[in-house]
Amino acid sequence: MSAEPRGTHPCGTGPRGAEPRGAEPRTDRPSGLSNGGAGPGRAPGKRLRIGILFGGRSAEHEVSIVSAQGVMAALDTDRFQAVPIGVTRQGTWLTLAQTEQALRRILSERLRSLDEPLGEGLLYRTQVIGSFRRLDIVFPLIHGANGEDGTLQGFLELAGVPYVGAGVAASALGMDKALQKTVFRQGGIPVTDDIVVLNSEWRRDPAGVRQAAEAAIGYPCFVKPANSGSSIGTAKVRSREDLDEAIAEALRYDRKVLIEKAVAAREVEVAVLGNDEPEASPVGEITYRSEFYDYRAKYDDPHTELHIPAAIPQATAERLRETALAAYRAIDCAGLARVDFFLKPDGEFCLNEVNTIPGFTPMSMYPRLWEYAGLSYRDLITRLIELGLERHQEKRRV
Ligand SMILES: Nc1ncnc2c1ncn2[C@@H]1O[C@H](COP(=O)(O)OP(=O)(O)O)[C@@H](O)[C@H]1O
Ligand SMILES: [Mg+2]
């Protein structure tokens, strides 16, 4: 916890098991897709095997399944072959055969999640890990912990398997709301004022935390876990009476929480795509009926709407897109990210957060922004695979 508001800007007042039939061991990694999807050591016309990793332990498990189904349905099958790999809610990696079986059950029994109450740690899942040898690239579609936070990316780096999206550091920064804000402030990107509170600090000195929060932030404020998503553990707090409960709730999801100044603003988002020369999409806006964009508003409320493009002045849209690119570069992101902003009535804005594995169903903001910009869901997926392979080649060069 820091007693000082962190920064000064317009938003603040202060400062894997059966293998699929026909699977063959691979001998080399492809360098790109210029040969109609074939890389060196790969017969021309042979399809690349794309590991679609989905599910996982986060509250976004269900949306991850829908994203994976969307990607598998849209994948350009002339060039790619989907190899789905499910991760249960308990964190167990399913074998390819178990995943196929689970996907069939999801369709036939209308299940919405992968469950295996007696989950096993990854080190016991040697079959599924072995199956990675036969993949050309992994497309991680797992949100939150052990999917979006750099740990999965670190495993793939160790294994030498190319993957789509942000690398280890950018993923970790994209996940940690406190750390990313530190980087953004350093880069002159406006963010909301906040203080960070650790569980140990809260247990040791709750009165001191309250006092620091009130002195630096005041009410209304938002209390949220530093590493979470889908608004889980997030609350708007109007008075001291509600502060303790909000902090205790947020601390159920992380050992570190942010207490942020509440910003009265519209919520607008920009999709960024690319490696070292990223491009920004048009701006989209989200509107909802609840007090803030909470879990229900995100996944279970017909009143929530995406507006593409956002009805905002062109100059503001341009500044938002530039800032989204600056934020993307600031965390050294790759592949894709959705950059979310708070846009205030006076036209000023601040960056709320960067999501390195944004919702990726065909109806999600990220693919829809690109669709609006002229890049179809199918072509977007192809581009992301190309970018992941390019990035892998670049890393192998050094
Ligand atoms: N400082 C804030 N001011 C206003 N609204 C906020 C603030 N922080 C969070 N919110 C609201 O809570 C939602 C979820 O918070 P966010 O930081 O985006 O976390 P998540 O990773 O769970 O999406 C936001 O979309 C917004 O509606
Ligand atoms: Mg958010």
**Which is more confidently placed, 171 or 26?**
171
Measured distance CA(321)–CA(323) in Å, rounded: 5
Q: Which residues contact 215 (CB under 8 A, 6 or more apart)?
A: 3
Query: What's the pLDDT at 346?
Result: 95
Indicate whether residue 84 lines ligand 1 (CB < 6 A). Answer: no
What is residue 3's three-state secondary structure? Answer: coil
Domains of the chain: 194-261 (3.30.1490.20), 264-386 (3.30.470.20)
Q: How far apart are CA 60 and CA 187, in angstroms?
A: 30
189-217 mean pLDDT: 98
Q: Which helix (H) or strand (E) holds 378?
A: helix 377-397
Ligand nearest, relative to CA of residue 268: 1
Q: In what order do the strands lie in the sheet with 137-140?
A: 80-87, 48-55, 137-140
- Write out pLDDT tens, residues 55-90: 998 888 999 999 999 999 999 999 999 999 999 998
Residue 14: what pLDDT? 37
Cα separation of 86 and 211, whole Å?
Answer: 45
Has residue 32 got a pLDDT over 80? no
**3-state DSSP call for residue 230?**
coil
- By percentage, how much of the chain surpasses pLDDT 90? 77
| pLDDT for 7 beyond 90 | no
Q: Tell whether omega for the bond before 309 is within 30 degrees of 0, i.e. cis.
A: yes
pLDDT of residue 43: 56
**387 neighbors 334 (Cβ within 8 angstroms):** yes
198, two tokens: 């650790």
| pLDDT tens per residue, range 99-121 | 999 899 888 887 788 877 666 77
Written as six digits, the tokens of 192 are 């909301």
Omega cis (within 30) before 220: yes
Ligand 1 within 6 A of CB of 224: yes
Q: Is the CB of 68 under 6 A from ligand 1?
A: no
Catalytic positions, written as ranges: 60, 230, 299, 338, 340, 353, 355, 359
Question: Is the alpha carbon torsion for 79, 84, 85, 89 positive or negative?
Answer: positive
User: Does the Cβ of 64 fall within 6 Å of ligand 1?
Assistant: no
* Range from 192-201, 298-307, 321-330, 335-344 carrying the lowest mean pLDDT: 298-307
Distance between CA 173 and CA 354 in Å, rounded?
A: 9
Whose atoms come closest to the Cα of 267: which ligand? 1
Q: Please, where are the H alpha helices in 7-166? A: 61-74, 96-108, 126-131, 151-159
Structure tokens at 242: 């509600």
Distance 340 CA to ligand 2 centre (A): 7
